[in-house]
Amino acid sequence: MIRVFLFTSLILMLNLAISSGYDFGTKVMSDDTDMGGPLFDIPGGTTVGFWDIGTPGYDEADPVYLHIARSCRDMITANDVRLTSIDNHSPGSKVIFDDIDMSKPLTLLPATINYLNLYGSQAYDLDDPVYLHQYYCGLDYIRAGHEQTGDESGYEFQDERVAPAKIEDFEMRLPYRGGISVPGVSCIEFTDGYRLLISDLVIDFIPKVAGGYRGIKVEVIHGAKAKYYHILDTWLMKIAPFSEENARDLDTGFSPMTALICTNDIRLCRIGNFSPGTKVVDFDPDQNKMLASPALAKFLGRAKDSARIRYLDRNGNAQYDYPDYVYLNYPSGRTGDSVVVNNVRLTPVNASPDS
């Protein structure tokens, strides 16, 4: 009887171990069961966004999502991955149709994934924690409007990173008419159809209202090097470059506002007593620590930026859907890769998804 009881207990413990699987934010080890599993490209253009549920702008209360590229870029959709908790849904769970956050408005959060180099090896190590880092840390540029000052003879743009721009700072620039292709050059377009070629990494191709001049709207498009202001229905442009010390990107020579861990950055791995999916808040011991570069992945609106986010096709239907596991595929990050040591699980593996 005792032997039968012990055998039954052992089977039960093994089943529990298998069913518990690997949690969100854990790293792959050489003897893990998902090691070597084939990975496939996540849909191009996958972004990161947040549901603004409290004070306007991104803050501690807002849940954050890995938004899998679909037609609804401004809405939380089925199979988006939660990177923070909300309600009874934990980080790494996927959105389904009757969830509280399904179809809620989604605001783009330009971000990168970087690691904290704890041991000074100048390489990404197994014990290095990983963070989702706000690309423009501390700058709430996502809001639609800026404060207007002065009278109708001049318009000032109040901005945290560039000096106020008056109407005399604008200059005539011929619009781009098409017909040429230049490597490394992007074309931005405002709502009046005015287009301009720029040598910059465009953060958000959707123009935002920045104010007005004599009743005419002024729009802005954000790049990594500068902000591009345009007075609608004119050929007037204002290019406001960022300061040199803040203008180097993690990969291309131009960077975000800071490479330090900021308030409301998200831990994607455990560090000390802080669980994956928690946000950094003021006075946390990892706040203001220097993040390593280049970024492991970027979410800046271009298809290739998120190339290191991949999925394991569990049901073999050749498309990303609910049963599939999602990974940060670094190192590696090439089409046809498999799960390797030090990959970060962005969804639970071999575990029952949250309901």
Residues in the chain: 355
Query: Within 10 Å of residue 130's Cβ, how many Cβ atoms?
Result: 25
Q: What is the mean pLDDT of the chain?
A: 79
Least confident of 196-200, 241-245, 275-279: 241-245
Strand partners, 274: 271
Asked if 231 contacts 195 with a C-beta cutoff of 8 angstroms, the reply is: no
The predicted structure's pLDDT at residue 272: 93
Residue 228's alpha-carbon distances to 23, 109, 199, 258, 302, in angstroms, are 43, 19, 12, 21, 18
CB count within 10 Å of CB 178 equals 9
The confidence band for 72, taking pLDDT boundaries of 50, 70 and 90, is low
Contact present, 119 and 127 (Cβ < 8 Å): yes
Contact 262, 138 (CB under 8 A): yes
Is the model's pLDDT at 36 over the cut of 70? Answer: yes
Q: Is the pLDDT of residue 298 over 70?
A: yes
**Lowest mean pLDDT segment, chosen from 36-50, 240-254, 302-316:** 240-254
Three-state DSSP at 4 gives helix
The beta strand positions in the chain, using DSSP E, are 40-41, 47-50, 64-67, 81-82, 107-108, 111-115, 130-134, 171-172, 186-189, 195-198, 202-213, 216-223, 226-231, 236-241, 266-267, 297-299, 309-312, 325-328, 344-345
Task: Say which amino acid occupies 174.
Answer: L
Using DSSP's 3-state secondary structure scheme, residue 162 falls into coil
| Per-residue confidence (pLDDT) for residue 294, from 0 to 100 | 84
- What span, in angstroms and rounded, lies between the C-alpha atoms of 276 and 202? 30
Burial class (CB in 10 A: 0-12, 13-18, 19+), 162: middle
- Write the pLDDT tens digit of every residue in 145-183: 333 333 333 344 433 333 344 667 888 888 888 765 666
Beta bridge mates, 198: 186
Cis check for the bond before 331: say yes or no (omega within 30 of 0). Answer: yes
Domain boundaries defined on the chain: 20-138+257-355, 167-245
Mean pLDDT on 81-107: 96
Residue 96 Cα distances to 190, 219, 227, 256, 342, angstroms? 35, 36, 37, 34, 29
Which positions ≥6 away from 355 have C-beta within 8 Å? none
Q: How large a percentage of the chain has pLDDT more than 90?
A: 45
